[in-house]
Structure 1
Protein backbone atom coordinates (compact mmCIF):
# COMPACT_ATOMS: atom_id res chain seq x y z
CA UNK A 1 0.00 0.00 0.00
CA UNK A 2 1.23 3.48 -0.88
CA UNK A 3 1.44 5.76 2.17
CA UNK A 4 -0.19 8.67 0.27
CA UNK A 5 -3.08 6.96 -1.54
CA UNK A 6 -5.21 4.12 -0.28
CA UNK A 7 -7.15 2.69 -3.21
CA UNK A 8 -10.40 0.79 -2.78
CA UNK A 9 -11.61 -1.15 -5.80
CA UNK A 10 -15.36 -1.85 -5.93
CA UNK A 11 -15.52 -2.57 -9.66
CA UNK A 12 -13.00 -5.04 -11.10
CA UNK A 13 -12.56 -2.97 -14.27
CA UNK A 14 -10.52 -0.54 -12.17
CA UNK A 15 -8.10 -3.35 -11.23
CA UNK A 16 -7.47 -4.11 -14.88
CA UNK A 17 -7.08 -0.41 -15.57
CA UNK A 18 -4.46 0.16 -12.88
CA UNK A 19 -6.29 2.76 -10.78
CA UNK A 20 -3.83 2.59 -7.86
CA UNK A 21 -0.88 3.68 -10.03
CA UNK A 22 -2.89 6.41 -11.79
CA UNK A 23 -4.22 7.74 -8.47
CA UNK A 24 -0.76 7.82 -6.88
CA UNK A 25 0.73 9.60 -9.89
CA UNK A 26 -2.07 12.19 -10.00
CA UNK A 27 -2.11 12.85 -6.23
CA UNK A 28 1.69 13.11 -6.05
CA UNK A 29 1.79 15.56 -8.98
CA UNK A 30 -0.97 17.68 -7.41
CA UNK A 31 0.67 17.94 -4.00
CA UNK A 32 4.11 18.54 -5.52
CA UNK A 33 2.82 21.28 -7.82
CA UNK A 34 1.31 23.04 -4.81
CA UNK A 35 4.57 22.79 -2.85
CA UNK A 36 3.25 20.13 -0.47
CA UNK A 37 5.26 17.10 0.49
CA UNK A 38 3.63 13.76 -0.17
CA UNK A 39 4.85 12.57 3.21
CA UNK A 40 2.47 13.48 6.00
CA UNK A 41 -0.74 13.25 3.98
CA UNK A 42 -3.10 10.46 3.01
CA UNK A 43 -6.25 10.15 0.95
CA UNK A 44 -8.49 7.40 -0.35
CA UNK A 45 -9.59 6.86 -3.95
CA UNK A 46 -12.45 4.44 -4.59
CA UNK A 47 -13.07 2.99 -8.04
CA UNK A 48 -16.74 2.13 -8.39
CA UNK A 49 -19.47 1.88 -11.02
CA UNK A 50 -22.19 4.29 -12.07
CA UNK A 51 -24.82 2.64 -9.87
CA UNK A 52 -22.80 3.17 -6.70
CA UNK A 53 -21.74 6.71 -7.52
CA UNK A 54 -25.38 7.58 -8.35
CA UNK A 55 -26.34 6.41 -4.84
CA UNK A 56 -23.53 8.46 -3.31
CA UNK A 57 -24.49 11.49 -5.41
CA UNK A 58 -28.10 11.16 -4.23
CA UNK A 59 -27.11 10.71 -0.58
CA UNK A 60 -24.60 13.55 -0.41
CA UNK A 61 -25.71 16.01 -3.08
CA UNK A 62 -29.38 15.23 -3.61
CA UNK A 63 -28.70 14.35 -7.27
CA UNK A 64 -29.68 10.72 -7.96
CA UNK A 65 -27.65 10.42 -11.15
CA UNK A 66 -24.18 9.11 -11.96
CA UNK A 67 -21.29 11.55 -12.12
CA UNK A 68 -17.63 11.12 -12.96
CA UNK A 69 -16.01 11.99 -9.62
CA UNK A 70 -17.07 12.92 -6.11
CA UNK A 71 -14.91 14.12 -3.25
CA UNK A 72 -15.31 14.44 0.50
CA UNK A 73 -12.69 16.64 2.17
CA UNK A 74 -11.79 15.62 5.71
CA UNK A 75 -11.83 19.28 6.74
CA UNK A 76 -13.10 22.62 5.44
CA UNK A 77 -10.16 24.09 3.52
CA UNK A 78 -11.82 26.65 1.24
CA UNK A 79 -10.29 30.09 0.81
CA UNK A 80 -11.92 32.94 2.68
CA UNK A 81 -12.54 34.98 -0.46
CA UNK A 82 -13.42 33.99 -4.03
CA UNK A 83 -10.39 33.69 -6.29
CA UNK A 84 -7.93 33.12 -3.45
CA UNK A 85 -5.76 30.04 -3.22
CA UNK A 86 -6.85 27.95 -0.23
CA UNK A 87 -4.46 27.70 2.70
CA UNK A 88 -2.33 24.59 2.51
CA UNK A 89 -3.00 21.96 5.16
CA UNK A 90 -0.30 21.00 7.62
CA UNK A 91 1.14 17.52 7.18
CA UNK A 92 0.87 15.04 10.00
CA UNK A 93 3.75 13.02 11.42
CA UNK A 94 4.83 9.88 9.52
CA UNK A 95 2.99 7.60 11.93
CA UNK A 96 -0.23 9.67 11.78
CA UNK A 97 -0.50 11.47 8.40
CA UNK A 98 -3.15 14.14 7.86
CA UNK A 99 -6.11 12.69 5.99
CA UNK A 100 -7.16 14.93 3.11
CA UNK A 101 -10.38 13.00 2.49
CA UNK A 102 -11.96 10.60 0.03
CA UNK A 103 -12.59 10.50 -3.71
CA UNK A 104 -14.94 8.20 -5.65
CA UNK A 105 -14.69 7.73 -9.40
CA UNK A 106 -17.18 5.88 -11.64
CA UNK A 107 -16.09 3.57 -14.44
CA UNK A 108 -18.90 3.94 -16.99
CA UNK A 109 -19.13 7.72 -16.81
CA UNK A 110 -15.36 8.14 -17.03
CA UNK A 111 -15.09 5.75 -19.97
CA UNK A 112 -17.95 7.45 -21.84
CA UNK A 113 -16.49 10.93 -21.24
CA UNK A 114 -13.02 9.86 -22.38
CA UNK A 115 -14.44 8.34 -25.57
CA UNK A 116 -16.64 11.37 -26.31
CA UNK A 117 -13.70 13.76 -25.81
CA UNK A 118 -11.29 11.57 -27.83
CA UNK A 119 -8.99 11.33 -24.82
CA UNK A 120 -7.27 8.29 -23.43
CA UNK A 121 -8.87 6.77 -20.35
CA UNK A 122 -5.63 7.10 -18.31
CA UNK A 123 -5.36 10.82 -19.17
CA UNK A 124 -9.02 11.45 -18.35
CA UNK A 125 -8.89 9.57 -15.05
CA UNK A 126 -5.66 11.34 -14.12
CA UNK A 127 -7.43 14.66 -14.71
CA UNK A 128 -10.39 13.60 -12.57
CA UNK A 129 -8.16 12.47 -9.71
CA UNK A 130 -6.24 15.78 -9.87
CA UNK A 131 -9.61 17.54 -9.84
CA UNK A 132 -10.74 15.51 -6.82
CA UNK A 133 -7.52 16.13 -4.89
CA UNK A 134 -7.87 19.87 -5.52
CA UNK A 135 -11.38 19.69 -4.04
CA UNK A 136 -9.92 17.93 -0.98
CA UNK A 137 -7.50 20.86 -0.68
CA UNK A 138 -10.25 23.49 -0.73
CA UNK A 139 -10.46 24.41 -4.41
CA UNK A 140 -13.91 24.68 -5.97
CA UNK A 141 -15.70 25.89 -9.08
CA UNK A 142 -18.78 27.45 -7.50
CA UNK A 143 -18.24 30.79 -9.21
CA UNK A 144 -16.33 31.92 -12.29
CA UNK A 145 -13.26 33.27 -10.50
CA UNK A 146 -12.82 30.08 -8.45
CA UNK A 147 -13.49 27.92 -11.52
CA UNK A 148 -10.78 29.76 -13.43
CA UNK A 149 -8.31 29.30 -10.57
CA UNK A 150 -9.10 25.60 -10.27
CA UNK A 151 -9.01 24.92 -14.02
CA UNK A 152 -5.74 26.81 -14.46
CA UNK A 153 -4.21 24.86 -11.59
CA UNK A 154 -5.43 21.58 -13.12
CA UNK A 155 -3.98 22.53 -16.51
CA UNK A 156 -0.57 23.30 -15.00
CA UNK A 157 -0.49 20.06 -13.01
CA UNK A 158 -1.53 17.98 -16.02
CA UNK A 159 1.10 19.73 -18.15
CA UNK A 160 3.79 18.47 -15.74
CA UNK A 161 2.48 14.97 -16.47
CA UNK A 162 2.50 15.44 -20.25
CA UNK A 163 -1.31 15.56 -20.47
CA UNK A 164 -2.94 18.08 -22.77
CA UNK A 165 -5.36 20.72 -21.57
CA UNK A 166 -8.65 18.94 -20.78
CA UNK A 167 -10.62 22.15 -21.30
CA UNK A 168 -9.53 22.83 -24.89
Structure 2
Protein backbone atom coordinates (compact mmCIF):
# COMPACT_ATOMS: atom_id res chain seq x y z
CA UNK A 1 0.00 0.00 0.00
CA UNK A 2 1.45 3.42 -0.89
CA UNK A 3 2.53 5.57 2.06
CA UNK A 4 -0.23 8.07 1.34
CA UNK A 5 -2.84 5.33 1.77
CA UNK A 6 -1.45 3.67 4.90
CA UNK A 7 -3.41 3.80 8.12
CA UNK A 8 -2.18 6.42 10.57
CA UNK A 9 0.55 5.29 12.90
CA UNK A 10 -0.49 4.47 16.46
CA UNK A 11 0.93 7.59 18.11
CA UNK A 12 0.81 8.25 21.80
CA UNK A 13 2.81 11.06 23.29
CA UNK A 14 3.48 11.87 26.92
CA UNK A 15 4.58 15.41 27.66
CA UNK A 16 6.32 15.69 31.04
CA UNK A 17 6.80 19.02 32.76
CA UNK A 18 8.57 19.48 36.10
CA UNK A 19 6.41 22.23 37.57
CA UNK A 20 7.57 22.30 41.20
CA UNK A 21 9.34 20.15 43.76
CA UNK A 22 12.69 18.36 43.56
CA UNK A 23 11.95 15.46 41.23
CA UNK A 24 15.61 15.21 40.17
CA UNK A 25 16.41 12.50 42.72
CA UNK A 26 14.17 9.95 40.99
CA UNK A 27 16.14 8.03 38.40
CA UNK A 28 14.48 7.05 35.13
CA UNK A 29 11.62 9.43 35.92
CA UNK A 30 10.63 10.07 32.30
CA UNK A 31 10.63 6.39 31.35
CA UNK A 32 8.66 5.40 34.48
CA UNK A 33 5.96 7.91 33.58
CA UNK A 34 6.01 7.21 29.86
CA UNK A 35 5.81 3.42 30.37
CA UNK A 36 2.87 3.72 32.78
CA UNK A 37 0.92 6.20 30.65
CA UNK A 38 1.53 4.21 27.48
CA UNK A 39 0.47 0.93 29.14
CA UNK A 40 -2.76 2.51 30.39
CA UNK A 41 -3.53 4.03 27.01
CA UNK A 42 -2.82 0.79 25.15
CA UNK A 43 -5.09 -1.16 27.52
CA UNK A 44 -7.97 1.30 27.79
CA UNK A 45 -7.65 3.77 24.90
CA UNK A 46 -10.10 1.83 22.71
CA UNK A 47 -8.40 2.73 19.45
CA UNK A 48 -8.02 6.45 20.12
CA UNK A 49 -5.16 7.75 18.06
CA UNK A 50 -3.15 9.86 17.98
CA UNK A 51 -3.23 11.07 21.55
CA UNK A 52 -1.26 13.33 23.87
CA UNK A 53 -1.23 13.37 27.67
CA UNK A 54 0.55 16.04 29.68
CA UNK A 55 1.96 15.08 33.07
CA UNK A 56 2.96 17.91 35.41
CA UNK A 57 5.24 16.93 38.27
CA UNK A 58 4.41 19.33 41.02
CA UNK A 59 4.37 19.96 44.77
CA UNK A 60 1.79 19.60 47.50
CA UNK A 61 1.37 23.38 47.61
CA UNK A 62 0.52 23.68 43.92
CA UNK A 63 -1.73 20.62 43.91
CA UNK A 64 -3.53 21.85 47.04
CA UNK A 65 -4.28 25.16 45.29
CA UNK A 66 -5.62 23.36 42.21
CA UNK A 67 -7.60 20.92 44.35
CA UNK A 68 -9.25 23.82 46.18
CA UNK A 69 -9.91 25.80 43.00
CA UNK A 70 -11.41 22.96 40.98
CA UNK A 71 -12.73 20.50 43.57
CA UNK A 72 -13.38 22.70 46.60
CA UNK A 73 -10.99 20.66 48.74
CA UNK A 74 -8.33 22.80 50.45
CA UNK A 75 -5.67 20.11 50.73
CA UNK A 76 -3.15 18.34 48.54
CA UNK A 77 -4.00 15.05 46.89
CA UNK A 78 -1.74 12.59 45.13
CA UNK A 79 -3.00 13.08 41.56
CA UNK A 80 -5.41 15.33 39.71
CA UNK A 81 -6.68 14.69 36.20
CA UNK A 82 -8.13 17.38 33.96
CA UNK A 83 -9.66 16.15 30.68
CA UNK A 84 -9.01 18.37 27.69
CA UNK A 85 -11.83 20.79 27.08
CA UNK A 86 -13.32 22.43 24.04
CA UNK A 87 -10.68 24.07 21.90
CA UNK A 88 -7.93 21.61 22.85
CA UNK A 89 -5.74 20.41 20.01
CA UNK A 90 -6.69 17.17 18.29
CA UNK A 91 -5.78 14.13 20.32
CA UNK A 92 -5.10 16.04 23.54
CA UNK A 93 -6.58 13.85 26.28
CA UNK A 94 -5.79 16.20 29.12
CA UNK A 95 -3.45 16.92 32.00
CA UNK A 96 -2.33 14.90 34.99
CA UNK A 97 -0.78 16.71 37.95
CA UNK A 98 1.12 14.75 40.60
CA UNK A 99 2.13 16.03 44.07
CA UNK A 100 5.64 14.92 45.05
CA UNK A 101 5.37 15.09 48.83
CA UNK A 102 2.04 13.25 48.94
CA UNK A 103 3.33 10.50 46.66
CA UNK A 104 6.44 10.13 48.82
CA UNK A 105 4.41 10.02 52.04
CA UNK A 106 1.86 7.53 50.68
CA UNK A 107 4.56 5.23 49.28
CA UNK A 108 6.27 5.24 52.66
CA UNK A 109 3.01 4.60 54.55
CA UNK A 110 2.10 1.76 52.19
CA UNK A 111 5.60 0.28 52.22
CA UNK A 112 5.89 0.34 48.44
CA UNK A 113 8.65 1.72 46.23
CA UNK A 114 8.10 5.35 45.28
CA UNK A 115 8.47 4.42 41.60
CA UNK A 116 5.66 1.85 41.82
CA UNK A 117 3.31 4.27 43.53
CA UNK A 118 4.13 6.92 40.94
CA UNK A 119 3.35 4.50 38.11
CA UNK A 120 0.07 3.56 39.79
CA UNK A 121 -0.95 7.22 39.96
CA UNK A 122 -0.02 7.83 36.32
CA UNK A 123 -2.11 4.82 35.27
CA UNK A 124 -4.96 6.06 37.49
CA UNK A 125 -4.75 9.54 35.96
CA UNK A 126 -4.74 8.27 32.38
CA UNK A 127 -7.76 6.08 33.08
CA UNK A 128 -9.61 9.13 34.40
CA UNK A 129 -8.75 11.00 31.19
CA UNK A 130 -10.16 8.06 29.23
CA UNK A 131 -13.47 8.34 31.08
CA UNK A 132 -13.08 5.84 33.92
CA UNK A 133 -14.11 6.85 37.43
CA UNK A 134 -14.69 5.37 40.85
CA UNK A 135 -17.90 7.13 41.90
CA UNK A 136 -19.84 3.91 42.38
CA UNK A 137 -18.67 0.60 43.82
CA UNK A 138 -19.06 -1.12 40.45
CA UNK A 139 -17.10 1.61 38.65
CA UNK A 140 -14.39 1.52 41.32
CA UNK A 141 -14.07 -2.27 41.06
CA UNK A 142 -13.83 -2.08 37.26
CA UNK A 143 -11.23 0.71 37.36
CA UNK A 144 -9.18 -1.06 40.04
CA UNK A 145 -9.21 -4.32 38.06
CA UNK A 146 -7.89 -2.52 34.98
CA UNK A 147 -5.24 -0.73 37.08
CA UNK A 148 -4.12 -4.06 38.57
CA UNK A 149 -3.87 -5.63 35.11
CA UNK A 150 -1.87 -2.71 33.68
CA UNK A 151 0.45 -2.49 36.68
CA UNK A 152 1.13 -6.24 36.65
CA UNK A 153 2.46 -5.86 33.10
CA UNK A 154 4.82 -3.18 34.46
CA UNK A 155 5.98 -5.49 37.25
CA UNK A 156 4.14 -3.47 39.90
CA UNK A 157 2.29 -5.32 42.66
CA UNK A 158 -1.45 -4.88 43.13
CA UNK A 159 -1.68 -1.54 44.96
CA UNK A 160 -4.75 -2.76 46.84
CA UNK A 161 -3.35 -6.07 48.14
CA UNK A 162 0.40 -5.89 47.56
CA UNK A 163 0.40 -9.08 45.49
CA UNK A 164 1.72 -9.28 41.92
CA UNK A 165 -1.28 -10.30 39.81
CA UNK A 166 -0.97 -12.33 36.63
CA UNK A 167 -4.59 -12.50 35.43
CA UNK A 168 -6.51 -10.18 33.16
CA UNK A 169 -9.82 -8.36 33.34
CA UNK A 170 -12.14 -6.63 30.90
- Equivalent residue, structure 1, for 2:137: 144
Question: In the alignment, does 2:9 pair up with 1:9?
Answer: no
1:15 Cα deviation from its structure 2 partner: 3.2
1:42 Cα deviation from its structure 2 partner: 0.2
- Equivalent residue, structure 1, for 2:4: none
Larger radius of gyration: 2
Figure out how many residues of one structure are paired with residues of the other and give that number: 148
Question: In the alignment, does 2:51 pair up with 1:41?
Answer: yes
Unaligned runs of 5+ in 1: 77-95
- Equivalent residue, structure 2, for 1:116: 109
SS of structure 1 residue aligned to 2:65: helix
Segments ≥4 residues shifted beyond 6 Å: none
Contact 2:32 2:115 in 1 (8 A): yes
* C-alpha RMSD of the superposition: 2.1
TM-score, L = length of structure 1: 0.81
Contact 2:12 2:38 in 1 (8 A): no
- C-alpha distance in structure 2 between counterparts of 1:155 and 1:165, whole Å: 5
- Equivalent residue, structure 1, for 2:98: 105
Contact 1:31 1:37 in 2 (8 A): no
- C-alpha distance in structure 2 between counterparts of 1:110 and 1:7, whole Å: 17
Question: In the alignment, does 2:61 pair up with 1:51?
Answer: yes
State which drifts further: 28-37 or 112-121: 28-37
Identify the structure with bigger relative contact order (alpha carbons < 8 Å, sequence gap 6+).
1
- C-alpha distance in structure 2 between counterparts of 1:9 and 1:124, whole Å: 18
1:11 Cα deviation from its structure 2 partner: 2.5
- Equivalent residue, structure 2, for 1:70: 80
State which drifts further: 14-23 or 34-43: 34-43
- C-alpha distance in structure 2 between counterparts of 1:43 and 1:33, whole Å: 15
- Equivalent residue, structure 1, for 2:33: 23
Contact 1:4 1:39 in 2 (8 A): no
- C-alpha distance in structure 1 between counterparts of 2:85 and 2:21, whole Å: 30
